[in-house]
Amino acid sequence: MRDLDYVAAVTATGGGRTVWLGGIAVPHRRLVLRWLRRQALRLADGHGRHLPPGSPWLRARDVRPVTFHGSDAPEGLRAWAGDEGRQDEAICALESGHPTLLTVVDPAVGLRVTLAGWPVVWPVGSAHQPPPY
């Protein structure tokens, strides 16, 4: 699908506010999934602590850390990142032009962390349309 670019974003919602933690735009759906998996594991392992330096590939930045108050959300992030079946579903959704979405909840404080990736379809003739490959 050469007319598609892909984007991914991670947000946190709590207390009626949504905060953007980070995001990327990449040329291929596998890079979206790779980035989302990395962020899921970084958030799960970080728990708000100092995280290792960002990823050097594609100059993609990692998301800002989040402090979880329980283990439910980190375990959900790890489970998603390590589940090949769910990764296959995510790739298939992106490939067919649909978004992929994961939301985990920290029930202790009602914090919701959402990881999302989706294709961007540029209108034909748009000045922003990528060149044909």
pLDDT tens digit string along 38-88? 999 999 987 655 555 555 554 567 888 888 998 999 999 999 999 999 999
Q: Is the pLDDT of residue 19 over 70?
A: yes
Which tokens go with 98?
């649909």
Q: Where are the domains of the chain?
A: 4-121
Give dist(CA 33, CA 99) in Å, integer: 11
Q: What is the pLDDT of residue 77?
A: 96
Give this prediction's pTM.
0.82
Q: How many Å separate Cα 1 from the centre of its chain?
A: 21
Top pLDDT among 113 and 125 is at 113
Query: Which residues are CB-neighbours of 104 under 8 A, at least 6 positions away?
Result: 72, 73, 76, 77, 80, 112, 113
Query: Which residues are CB-neighbours of 16 under 8 A, at least 6 positions away?
Result: none
Q: How confident is the model at residue 127 (pLDDT cuts 50, 70, 90)?
A: low
Q: How confident is the model at residue 3 (pLDDT cuts 50, 70, 90)?
A: very low
- The phi, psi pair for 12, rounded to 5°, reads -125, 135
Average pLDDT rounded to a whole number, residues 13-29: 93
Q: Mean pLDDT over all residues of the chain?
A: 85
Q: How confident is the model at residue 133 (pLDDT cuts 50, 70, 90)?
A: very low
